Each structure stands twice: as C-alpha cells, then as structure tokens.
A and B are shown apart, each in its own frame.
Chain A
Amino acid sequence: MATLTFSSYIAKRIALTVVSIFIIISFNFFLFRVLPGNPITLLYRSPRLTLNQEKSLAIQFGLNKPEWEQYLLYIRNALEGNFGISFYYKVSVTSELIPALENSLVLLIPATIISVLLGIFTGVFSAWRENSKTDVAVLQTAMAFYAMPTFWLGGIFILLAIYIGGIPVAGEYSVGSTSILNLLEHMALPLLTLVLVYYGQFTIMMRNSLRDVLSEDYIVTAYAKGADSRRILYTHAVPNAMLPMISLIAINLGLMVTGAILVETVFSWPGIGYMIYEAIGHLDYPMLQGAFIIVTFSVVLANLLADMIYGMVDPRIRYK
C-alpha cells in the first residue's frame, strides 16, 4: 500500500514538473521580448549600419517573422535541444553556453558541497552547545560571513593575494595550461570566497532546525530514559533536523547553474553568470533563452529531487 502511494506521489510530482517546465519555457520567450530596446540597433550602434543591413540582420536573426511564428519555432527548437544562434557571438548558443556552464560548475559544485558539509557540521555543533560561548561564536561568525558582500570579501582576498604574491587572482587557468593543479590554484580564492559566504546560511538553518528538534518531547523522553547523548543527537535529532536543509540544498543546487556572477566578475572566472549578464546587455535573446531554459530545468529538477527525498524520509508528506 505504501509503495503504491509513493509511486503515485512521484508520478504526480513528475507530471507537475513537466507542466511547470512548459509554462516557464513559454514565459522565457515572452519575458525577453518585452525587454526594452532593439537588439540590432543596440548591437550595431554604428553610423555605418544601413537600412538594408538592418533588414538583412533582422532576417538573419529571424526577427522579421511574426512573434507567434517565432514562438512556435522556439518551442520546436527547444524540444530538439536547439537554442538557436547567438545574436552576439553568431554561433550556436549551445557551443557558447555549455563551456561556460562547465566552468561555473567546476567552481560551484565543490563550493556548494564544502559549504553544505561545513554548514551542517558547524550548525550541529552550535545547536548542541546552545547558549554557550561556542554557540554564540559559531552563530555570529556564520552570520557575519553570510552578510558579507561576495565582491567585498573577494576583493579583500585579492588584496591579500597581491600582498603575499603568487596566488592567482583571476581566470580559470594560466594561459596555455590545462593542468588540474593549475586549476586548483586558480580556484583557491573564488572557492574560499564562495564557501565562506555560502556556509553561513546552512549553519544558521541547521542550528535553528536542530535546536527545535532538540526541544521536542521525544528527545526529552530519550534523555529521561538515559540514552546516550551522542546517539540521541545523531540517530534521532539530526535526521529530523535535516528536513528543512533538503529544501535549502535543493534550491542551491538548482541555482548553481546560474553561476555566481559577482565572484565570476571579481575573479574573472569565465562562467555562465557573467555570460548571462553580458547577454542581457546585448539583448541576445537566443542566449538568454538558452540560459534560462537550463536554469529552469535545473531548478525544477532539483525541486523534484527534493520532493522525492522528502517523500522518502518523511512518510507524512506522501500520505497528505
């Protein structure tokens, strides 16, 4: 009975996910077309541009077609995984987006994993030592890092790196190098910046969640029965306190694909965040649409994953 319910729960979530994706894909098309400005005059703001050239570019970019036709083409291409040709780069969107996405993920996946682990560890530690000096210190440190502007913290690290000397302050690799060691060297500062800024939210969430769980009756009962405090913490309290963390981690995983634009800007990391920022400036519709479809998929799929995990770890969810 329980298996059947869980299956229907999953099926329902998947169906909703498909509908969500379709609605968002459609929304993406219109969203960028209501942005002010004309991509051709904006891209080619040059007295050399003749009226004939403007018309020719409009034909080349498909902007001469009625919007409904553009929309149908867009939907068809999106289903085929073809995001079109970038107005700015004049090559397929995929060929520009995918390398940038890979660059972002190389930085953001480790940053998220480390910050989640660090956040959980410090959050548990803080909640376990509630109201102690340790708790205050951990919480205040987490809040301080969480509140720090990424670009500011990154700037401080750059200043320190220049002062110390020898630590890469920009880029993903040194020119001509593709070695892992070189990548690690270049990742050091942006990764540290991201981990410090990200881990705070996980610490705060974990600490507060665990604190609530630790005050539940069943925990008090366990103490009263003389259960080992470490067993109470790791077997009973932490798994229950992890539930809100699942949502937070899922949201962060989904948003990872948007890159970390400030960090990418400060450290000149060639990621997708900065590419999206530039595409907005150029009104590069195909690039923006491609990027937002990837973002949409990631966020929706991450949420689906979170729903599934929720359903597995908390039976109350699927019976609702």
Chain B
Amino acid sequence: MAFEGKIGRKTMVLVFSAIIITTGYFALFGTTGGQYYIGSPAVSTAEAGTASANNSTFTVGWSGTSLDTLNPYTFTSSVSDWILLDTYSTLALYNANGSGLIPELATSWNINVSNGTAVVHLNPNAKFSNGQPINSSDVEYSYQMADCCFSGLSSYVCMITNISTPNPETVIFNFTGGLFPLVSLDNVFILPESLWQNVNVSSYFGFNASADPSFVGSGPFVVSKYVQGQYVQLSRNPYWYLPSMEPHVSSVIIQCFNSESSMFSALQAGTIDATSAFLLPSQIPVVQNDSSLHLVLSNSFTYCYLGFNVNPSGAGPSSIRNLTVRQAITDAINVSYVTKVAWDGYATPLATNFPVGDSFLDSALKLHPYNVSEANSLLNASGFSYGPNNLRETPNGTALAYTVIVPSSFPALISAATVIKQELSQIGISITISSISTSTMDSIIWPGYTQSMDLWDWAWTPGDPTLLCVFTDTAITTCLSDSGFNNSEYNTLYSELINANSTQQIYNLSDQLQAILYNQLPYLPLYSPPNIAAYSNAFTNISSNFAGGPFGAMDWETFIQVEPNASFGKTTHSGSTLYYIAGGIAAVVVIAAVAAIVIRSRRKED
C-alpha cells in the first residue's frame, strides 16, 4: 500500500519555501538576533548592572536541601538558617571564623564566667519589622522558647539557669560552665513575643501568607514572599536599626533549584545573579572562561573523614578495634593524594576533627605521615602476616578485609574510597566499597555498629567546640557517634570543657581532646571540601571571608554588603521565548501543509 512516485516541481518549490521561511525565522529571532532575557525575570544581569542600589534585587540560586521551615526553633535545612540569619537579630553576630562576636541587638555585654553571670545591654532603638520596639522581654521569651524540647537551639541555651530583665534594655543571664560566651549570644534568634505567643510555636511555619504582616522579623531583611519549592524573597526591613549594616540592595531572592547543573545553567542564562556553594570542580573552568562571571572558592564548614568502628560492643570486625591496624591504615593512606583526587586539588587536607578555618582547629597537629613501609612494619610486628590472596590475616586467621560504606550521594567521597582501596591493597588489606543511601548507612551503623569503616562528613557552625561531643559515650546512645569511640579520659575532658571557667581553658581542653583523637584514631580526618560558587559581575562587594564563603549559608554579611556593579556593561536584549514557540508552531504548520500537498499531488499522479 506504500506509495512510490516522483516529486513534482510545484512540490519542490513549496518544500524549499518552507525551509527558507523556517530558517529565516530562526535566523531572525535566533542566533543573529542578539540576546534577550527570559520572560520577565525579577532581575537579569543587565537590569542588575544598571539598577540603582536602592532599587535592585540580588537573586541567588540554591541547590542544596530544600527549605523546610522558617521557624527558628524547628528548622534543619541550612538555607533556612541562612534566611533566618538575615531576618532575625541575635544578641551578637559571629565573625568570619567564629572566633569573636560583633554587636547586633546587644550594644555591649559583660560576661563573668567565674560567677556565671552575663549582663547584656540592648540597643534602645531596636525595632521589629512591624515598628514595635524590641525589649528585654522579647529576648527572655526567645531564649525560653529556644530551651523547649522541640527546639533545635536548646544546646545553645541549656547552660542558662536563669534570665532576668531588670529593665526593657537589659537582660541578665545566669549560667553554668564556660560555653555561654561562645555559643549563646550569637545563635538564638530574637522574635516578637506578642506574635509568637499566639501561635503553636512547635508547628508554626514562621511565615503566614494570609496574615498581615506575613512575617515580623528583627533583622536587616524581612521575608516578603515565599513560594513553596520555588523561591523566598527578602525585602529590606523598614525599621532596621543599625545604619552601619544597612543593605545595599532593596531585595534578595533565594531561588530553589533541583540540581547544581540546573542552577549553573540558570546563572549562565542570566536568570540568577549567583549560585550557592554547590558547584562542582568541573564547572570551575567554565566560570573562569566566562568574563561575566566571578568564581568564589572558599573553605567550607564541613569536613570529611574515614571512621573506624571501634565500638567494643559493636558487631563490626574486631581487628579494626586494634589500634595498630588503624595506625597502619593511617600510615598507608596518603591523605593529600586522596584529597587531590576527590576534589581535583581544590579541597584542603585535614589532620584533626574540625573544618579548616575553624578557630578550634588545633593547627599544631600535622597530617599523619604517609609511610607504607612503616605501615607494613607495624602489621608485621603485631603478627598480621600475609595469608592467601595476598591478604594479611589476624593471628587467629581472619583476613583483614573490610567494607567501607559511603553515601551514594557524595561522589567525591566515592572517589576518595577508591583511592583508599588502592592504597590499602599495598599493605595487604582488602577494601570493598559499598555506596549506599545515608538511610541505609544509618541502619547499618545504629544501633548494632555492624560496619567496618564509613566515609562521611560533619558540617558545623564555626567556633563551636561542642562538635567534639561526637566522640563521647553519650553520642553512642543518641546515635551520633558512627565510630562508637568510648574513652574515659576523653569523656572526662569533654565534661571539663562543658564546665570550663574560661574561654582559654576551653581552647586548651579542645586541643587535648583533638590530641586524643589524633592518637586513638576513631576517625582519620581526610579533608575540608571547598565551597565553589559563582556570581555575575553585575554585582560587587561580595567578600569570601566567612567559612563556607559568601553563598555557603553561614555568611550573614553577603546580603547586607552586596551591591550592583555600576561599571558592569549592559547587554542588549530583545525578543521573547514566545516568538520561538510561535515560530516553532508556524514551522510545524508550514511543514505539515507542505506534506499534505505532497501527498495529495502524489495521489493525483498515482
């Protein structure tokens, strides 16, 4: 039934006409027609470059874990934390590496650790975004709520024994231990008591679109719009009380993306002005080769490690609980090389259990020397001789063969595992890499401790030594310790750290605790991954001093300081995507019409 025939002259003319019309259309509105921007973006690079500081919007993409809530007590996602940092005041703000405090709501404070008292003086001009003054009762209320069982902030305030408010501008805290000045002033968001006492604090989202106003904050910005799964818009707080920290843009938009590649495409297309710090090393050259973009490489507040299952009552292989085996493994792993392979040379190798740049990182600790012959000597001397298949065995004949579990969502850690596998084969230790979901890792590790080793990471607020609690016996009970490390000396010292009488003592104890970990090796710290971000040159005044960089969700300065780059050139734009859609439809119609004519003419010829 198929038809075969020759194409007539009229048909040929029609086909060529269709091709010429279609090609001409796309040539006109396409590549030769110049660039134009997507639909009606709130901000395009060109618009941003020419916008005045007072009427500009800075749009940053976010491709990390989705925003969960804007409730300061129940949030878990880092993007929520980032938004809350700029929409609520804290009494003080941490500096770039977390080693000191800068006044925010508090103008001054007098802390006496030895008698456990802190007198905090509030800014008398401070107001919430609805114009109501911020007074000491709001501070007291916020700290009380932070100590509730549903609050994720309770560890920052659990040492506070009493709060009194002698007048609207003074708050007196009584506390125990030495952690208060380190963690309590800069981590509790100050909320309006009058509003929050009318809602169920544990389940309130933190933004109510149907209320007027939808959001009442105390920071330089307020949440002016929230579209689920899409974006959050922050606008200037009209009652912001610190002129020295006045934002330079009128609004900030944090736009959500489902993947970093999609976010990066949006930056390239000009939809957003910056990306969050989730770009990949492979995207670095692309940014570097684009004159309109600026690359930001920063230390992250995350560190990755190889954890050994040393829990004496765990079900993991007993040989890994042998310190000699762990020392040999440590000697046989070239941490610098692992770091280089995992992050193409952009990560920083680590000797201890704090992210690089953290004020508590003990810089006296150096990387364990890479020494394969020393590793072999250690194993030989302890009776771990070679057995079949070129594998070492314990004195009772069990092969030193381990499985390393690693989150499948961490490609850099999988690369690290591959290098570790190769390096350990040099000393007769076999490694099987098991790349699994974090929930599966969770079930393997807790509560039975059935794993041998795990590759994972910790992300932490800079300048907070309580990260070290991961290695205490309590952390085994709370399913935080993946190593199951339980050392009485460590537990005692950590308890002393919590109850220390001075900041200096906390630093000293932190160093001692890190030294124990360095020698006992429940973890082999590997590296601090870089935070890789990019922004359009249409904006300027973006510093990368903070841990995590300007777009790593810890830097409260970024949105305050960013401003349009007046010297950034304007791009000419024209047209609209709808032209393309219409053109596409027109082309299809023309081609279909031609096809119909061809068929009809063939039929006639037939």
Q: A interface vs B, CB < 8 Å? A: 35-38, 41-54, 56-57, 60, 85, 88-91, 96, 99-100, 103, 128-132, 134-135, 155, 158, 161-177, 179, 181-182, 184-186, 188, 214, 229, 264-270, 274-275, 278, 281, 283
Q: How far is the CB of B374 from chain A (nearest CB, A)?
A: 33
Q: Across the interface, do B259 and A168 meet the contact criterion of CB distance under 8 Å?
A: no
Give the Cβ gap from B510 to chain A, nearest Cβ, in Å.
Answer: 14
Check A165–B479 contact: CB distance below 8 A. no
**A41 and B442 within 8 A (CB):** yes
Cα(A52)–Cα(B440), bound, Å:
24
Give B41's nearest chain A residue, CB to CB.
Answer: A174
Is B258 in contact with A274, judged by CB distance below 8 angstroms?
A: yes
Which stretch from B48-56, B229-237, B314-322, B395-403 is at the chain A interface? B229-237
Chain A min CB distance to B78 (Å) = 11
> Of A41, A46, A130, A175, which is within 8 A of B1 by CB?
A130
Is A166 within 8 A of B475, CB to CB? no
Given pairs A37-B438, A168-B39, 13 additional interface contacts (CB within 8 A): A41-B480, A47-B469, A47-B480, A48-B154, A50-B154, A53-B152, A88-B66, A129-B2, A134-B2, A175-B43, A181-B578, A185-B38, A188-B580
Q: Given that A47-B475, A184-B578, A184-B581 are known contacts, is A60 also in contact with B269, CB under 8 Å in the complex?
A: no
Among B257, B270, B469, contact of A268 (Cβ-Cβ < 8 Å): B257
B59: chain A residues at CB < 8 Å are: 175
| Interface of B toward A, CB cutoff 8 Å | 1-4, 30-31, 34-43, 59, 65-66, 68-69, 71, 74, 76, 149-150, 152, 154-156, 158, 202-203, 205, 225, 228-231, 233, 253, 255-259, 261-263, 265-266, 268-271, 409, 437-444, 446, 458, 460, 466-467, 469-470, 474-475, 477-480, 573, 575-578, 580-581
Minimal beta-carbon separation of A153 from chain B (angstroms): 14
Report which of B154, B437, B575 forms a contact with A166, defined as CB distance below 8 A: B575
* Complex: chain A residue closest to B457, CB-CB: A45
29 contacts between A and B (CB under 8 A): A36-B443, A37-B442, A41-B479, A48-B466, A50-B158, A53-B152, A57-B150, A89-B69, A90-B69, A91-B203, A129-B3, A130-B1, A132-B3, A165-B34, A165-B269, A167-B577, A167-B580, A169-B269, A170-B265, A170-B271, A171-B255, A175-B233, A181-B578, A185-B39, A185-B577, A185-B581, A188-B580, A268-B257, A278-B65
Chain B residue nearest to A56 in the complex (CB): B149
Q: For the complex, what is the distance from the CA of A220 to the CA of B440, rounded to whole Å?
A: 61
* Given A36-B442, A177-B40: A46 in contact with B202 (beta carbons within 8 A): no
**Interface hub of A44, A46, A129, A134 (most chain B Cβ within 10 A):** A46
Residue of A nearest to B577 (CB): A185
Pairwise interchain contact A47-B466, C-beta atoms closer than 8 A: yes
The smallest C-beta distance from A282 to any residue of chain B, in angstroms, reads 8
Give chain B residues whose Cβ lies under 8 Å from the Cβ of A283. Answer: 439
Candidates A36, A175, A188, A266; contact of B41 at CB < 8 Å: A175
Contact (Cβ within 8 A) B253 A175? yes
Measured CA separation A315–B11 after assembly (Å): 46
Chain B nearest CB, measured from A254 CB (Å): 23
The docked-state distance in angstroms from the alpha carbon of A82 to that of B271 is 38
Q: Report the bound CA distance from A49 to B256 in whole Å.
A: 27
Which partner residue on chain A sits nearest B440 by CB separation? Answer: A36
CA A86 to CA B488, docked complex, whole Å:
40
Query: Are A188 and B259 closer than 8 Å at their CB atoms?
Result: no
Q: Which listed residue (B2, B225, B266) contacts A130, Cβ 8 A?
A: B2
- A168-B271, A266-B259 given as contacts; is B39 within 8 A of A177 (CB)? yes
- Contact call A186/B266, Cβ cutoff below 8 A: no
Which residues of B lie under 8 Å from residue A229 when comparing CB positions? 1
Give Cα distance in the complex from A264 to B66, angstroms: 14
For A163, what are the chain B residues with a Cβ–Cβ distance below 8 Å?
31
Complex contact A53–B149 (CB within 8 A):
yes
B271 to A52, Cβ gap below 8 A? no
Residues on B with beta carbons closer than 8 Å to the beta carbon of A266: 258-259, 261-262
CB distance from A215 to the nearest CB of B (A): 11
> Are A175 and B265 neighbours in the complex by a CB distance under 8 Å?
no
**Chain A residues with Cβ under 8 A from B38's Cβ?**
166-169, 174, 185-186
CB neighbours of B71 from chain A (8 A): 90
The complex places the Cα of A303 from the Cα of B42 at a distance, in Å, of 43
Bound-state Cα–Cα, A181 to B582, Å: 12
List chain A residues, Cβ under 8 A from B31.
163-164
Does the CB pair B269–A38 fall under 8 Å? no
Residues on the A chain within 8 Å of B229, using CB: 99-100, 103, 270, 275
For residue A166, give the distance in angstroms from its CB to the closest CB of chain B. Answer: 4
Q: What chain A residues lie within 8 Å of B470 (beta carbons)? A: 47
Cα(A266)–Cα(B580), bound, Å: 21
Q: Chain A residues with Cβ under 8 A from B1's Cβ?
A: 128-130, 214, 229
How far, in angstroms, from A171 to B437 measured CA to CA in the complex?
27
Q: Shortest distance in angstroms between A199's beta carbon and chain B's nearest beta carbon?
A: 13
Question: In the bound complex, what is the Cα–Cα distance between A130 and B4 (angstroms)?
Answer: 12
**Considering the chains assembled together, what is the distance between the CA atoms of A319 and B3 in angstroms?**
41
